[in-house]
Amino acid sequence: MIKFKLQSILSLRENIEKVKQRDLADAFNYEDQCKARKNDIILQQDILSKTMTEKISGNVQASQIKHYNDYSKLLEMQLEEAERALEKAHEEVLAKQQSLVEAMKDRKIFESLKETHIQEQLTLEKHAEQVLLDEVVSFKYSTEGEEE
């Protein structure tokens, strides 16, 4: 078995990559939650708008209009907050993606070094084996020549 001196570093790079993959998955989940929150607020605004339209058609009190208007403003503020959170979550996803790409590059570099090391060791072993075989053949030939 060929021992790669940097195996511990390669293993560390692999673990770092796995952690970054989990971080990216968490960032995607958070972004999805932000999207869902934004969509819920938009749905609430649509329901409020339909309700206000129905109420205005009938007999409505000023306090009800004020209540609906206040709720509409609250939903608008929540929507703006949700949009900011979604933008921040998207930026986080992009940063996590970039971080994962860098971790993958690091791991691939060490894997490439490992493959190169293995190939070099195999070449050295083949060469050493060939030298040994040449010596055996040479020794056998020389002992056969002396016996005659």
DSSP states along 115-142: HHHHHHHHHHHHHHHHHHHHHHHHHHHH
Distance CA(77)–CA(35), nearest Å, equals 16
pLDDT band of 142, cuts 50, 70, 90: confident
Residue 142 within any structural domain of the chain: no
pLDDT-based confidence at 146, cuts 50/70/90?
low
In a domain, residue 2? The reply is no
pTM over 0.85: no
Does the residue 114 lie in any domain? Answer: no
Asked, for residue 138, whether it belongs to a domain, the answer is: no
* b/e 6-16 (16+ beta carbons within 10 angstroms → b): eeeebeebeeb
Decide if 22 is inside a domain.
yes
User: What angle separates helix 62-147 from helix 7-57, to the nearest 10 degrees?
Assistant: 160
| Over residues 121-130, mean pLDDT | 92
Question: Would residue 54 count as lying in a domain?
Answer: yes
* Domain assignment of residue 14, yes or no: yes
Would 122 be classed as within a structural domain? no
CA-closest candidate to residue 110, choices 16, 18, 13, 21: 13
Q: What is the pLDDT of residues 34-49, one digit of tens each?
A: 999 999 999 999 999 9
**Amino acid at site 139:** F
For the chain, how many structural domains are there in total? 1
Helix, strand, or coil (residue 3):
coil
Range of the domain at 72: 7-107
pLDDT at 24: 96
